[in-house]
């Protein structure tokens, strides 16, 4: 058998995978929660505006809000019940955001019948885009960019390649892996829709080679397909980041500060592709997703969860904490966000809940930089983190910007390798925040 050569990018790290506790566990459906909290912002862009009222009965799939502006999407009811509140609520990305609170009536009554029309590929690209927008789909790999916007590149940026991201390079997470094993046909149907919308004839499904079963499933399904190929990737973090993925699959380099469309590519997560198929063929809005719940919980699992379910219910369903928790992270341990309450809801971009025990949390006092340059070696964006951080520490925002701080994608590889225990990534993030704030103030 001829094995495909695994592709990759320069830099990156090899953190322990921790995927075994859930990688062979089939997706289980979490029972309906008694209450869901649906944030009106689960996407990058403007917050959507509520169109329901307190006391109103809503049905599963019913729009709860309308998008405000071109980069915005609606939120939908993930079960049937009564609207109990529309108020600010803690959000897994750290802010407090207006949300619609629905108390379930236990009936799970649908708003539409969501029957699938398998002639969906005969729909016009415009109709497809409208259905994707109506379904409130955002990137499900964590980036949460509104999907319909990503499918409308300007005319002077023609797209010739679509890449489905099945890398799942974050340690612990296996939700995409299981989805690829359990719903490969729906993922490929979503890819066909994306290719039709963009008028593209070349597609890849990119998978790290620590998922040989998923590679085998897609290789078999695509063996007679001249347009779509499996792209086998080396296991390396952050292999699933857009620019690194595009380079690995096509050898095209997205210029600093630019988007994939600059090099003719669009990248979508495999879960997003499935949601796209369901939106276009079945009119189904994005109201549920697969979430890996793992780490220091008694029974780690991959769960199909209604959007808006409190994080606490996922942990309880998995048997509760197995040790004293040190940190509960929404997403993976590298780019995810530590939560300060278990009341936060699962949102469209929540791929995992990772519980780290107290022992697993690195708690060392940061030391002086020893100029070892390991952070420079691993930075996938070819930055010089040690230099930029020294500018940030001295408030030299101008020099930090000149040195490319805004291109930092906050992957955390630099902090992971730093022998001095310096939290380089946090300083990069802080520097970016300060520069953005100063620029906003200057504009005003």
Minimum separation from the CB atom of position 205 to ligand SF4 (A): 25
Give the binding range for ligand SF4 (CB under 6 A) out of 93-101, 153-161, 182-190, 413-421: 413-421
| Number of residues lying near ligand SF4 (CB under 6 A) | 29
Q: Which is nearer to ligand SF4, 151 or 427 (CB)?
A: 427
Q: Which is nearer to ligand SF4, 10 or 358 (CB)?
A: 10
Q: Are 249 and 120 in contact (CB under 8 A)?
A: no
- Give yes or no for residue 428 binding ligand SF4 (CB under 6 A): yes
Q: Which is nearer to ligand SF4, 305 or 375 (CB)?
A: 375
Residues 340, 329: Cα–Cα separation, whole Å: 9
DSSP E strand boundaries for 129-272: 161-166, 202-208, 228-233, 265-269
Minimum separation from the CB atom of position 264 to ligand SF4 (A): 24
Minimum separation from the CB atom of position 429 to ligand SF4 (A): 8
List residues bridging with 344 in a β-sheet. none
Residues 347, 367: Cα–Cα separation, whole Å: 37
Interface map 370-399 toward ligand SF4 (x if CB under 6 A): xxxxxx--xxxx-x-xx-------------
Residues 239, 206: Cα–Cα separation, whole Å: 10
Q: What are phi and psi of 347, to 5 degrees?
A: -115, 180
Q: Which is nearer to ligand SF4, 116 or 384 (CB)?
A: 384
- Give yes or no for residue 296 binding ligand SF4 (CB under 6 A): no
Residue 266: count of CB within 10 angstroms of its CB: 25
What would you measure as the largest C-alpha separation in the chain, in angstroms?
63
Q: Are 200 and 291 in contact (CB under 8 A)?
A: no
Query: Would you list the DSSP string of 267-324?
Result: EEEHHHHHHHHHHHHH---S-EEEEEEEESBSS-EEEEEETT-BHHHHHHHTTSBSS-
- Give yes or no for residue 256 binding ligand SF4 (CB under 6 A): no
Sole residue written with tokens 């789909």: 137
Minimum separation from the CB atom of position 13 to ligand SF4 (A): 8
Q: Which is nearer to ligand SF4, 265 or 408 (CB)?
A: 408
Report the DSSP pairing between strands 301-306 and 202-208.
unpaired
- Give yes or no for residue 410 binding ligand SF4 (CB under 6 A): yes
Give the binding range for ligand SF4 (CB under 6 A) out of 18-26, 204-212, 342-350, 416-424: 416-424
Residues of this chain that bind ligand SF4 (CB under 6 A): 369-375, 378-381, 383, 385-386, 408-414, 417-420, 422, 424-425, 428
């Amino acid at each position: 058998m001829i094995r495909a050569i695994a592709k990759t990018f320069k830099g990156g790290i090899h953190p322990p995978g921790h995927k075994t506790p859930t990688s062979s566990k089939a997706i289980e459906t979490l029972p309906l929660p008694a209450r869901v909290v649906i944030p009106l912002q689960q996407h990058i862009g403007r917050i959507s505006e509520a169109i329901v009222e307190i006391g109103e009965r809503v049905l599963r799939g019913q729009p709860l809000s309308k998008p405000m502006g071109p980069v915005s999407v609606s939120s939908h009811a993930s079960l049937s019940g009564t609207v109990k509140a529309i108020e600010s609520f803690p959000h897994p990305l750290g802010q407090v955001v207006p949300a619609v609170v629905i108390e379930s009536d236990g009936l799970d009554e649908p708003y539409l019948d969501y029957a699938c029309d398998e002639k969906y590929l005969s729909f016009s690209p415009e109709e497809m885009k409208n259905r994707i927008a109506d379904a409130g789909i955002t990137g499900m790999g964590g980036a949460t960019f509104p999907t319909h916007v990503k499918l409308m590149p300007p005319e002077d940026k023609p797209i010739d390649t679509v890449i489905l991201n099945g890398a799942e390079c974050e340690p612990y997470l296996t939700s995409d892996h299981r989805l690829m094993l359990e719903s490969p046909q729906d993922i490929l149907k979503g890819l066909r829709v994306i290719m039709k919308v963009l008028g593209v004839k070349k597609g890849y499904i990119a998978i790290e080679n620590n998922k040989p079963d998923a590679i085998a499933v897609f290789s078999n399904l695509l063996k007679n397909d001249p347009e779509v190929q499996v792209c086998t990737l080396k296991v390396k973090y952050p292999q699933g980041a857009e620019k690194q993925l595009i380079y690995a699959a096509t050898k095209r380099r997205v210029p600093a500060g630019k988007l994939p469309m600059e090099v003719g590519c669009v990248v979508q997560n495999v879960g997003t592709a499935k949601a796209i198929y369901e939106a276009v063929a079945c009119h189904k809005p994005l109201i549920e997703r697969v979430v890996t719940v793992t780490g220091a919980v008694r029974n780690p699992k991959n769960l199909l969860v209604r959007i808006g379910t409190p994080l606490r219910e996922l942990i309880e369903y998995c048997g509760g904490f197995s040790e004293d928790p040190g940190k509960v992270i929404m997403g993976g341990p590298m780019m995810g966000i530590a939560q300060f309450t278990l009341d936060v809801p699962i949102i469209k971009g929540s791929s995992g809940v990772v519980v780290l025990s107290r022992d697993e949390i690195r708690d060392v006092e940061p030391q002086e930089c020893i100029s070892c340059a390991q952070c420079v070696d691993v930075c996938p964006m070819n930055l010089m983190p040690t230099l930029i951080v020294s500018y940030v520490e001295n408030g030299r925002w101008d020099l930090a910007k000149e040195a490319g701080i805004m291109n930092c994608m906050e992957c955390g590889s630099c902090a992971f390798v730093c022998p001095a225990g310096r939290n380089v990534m946090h300083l990069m993030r802080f520097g970016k925040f300060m520069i953005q704030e100063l620029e906003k103030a200057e504009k005003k």
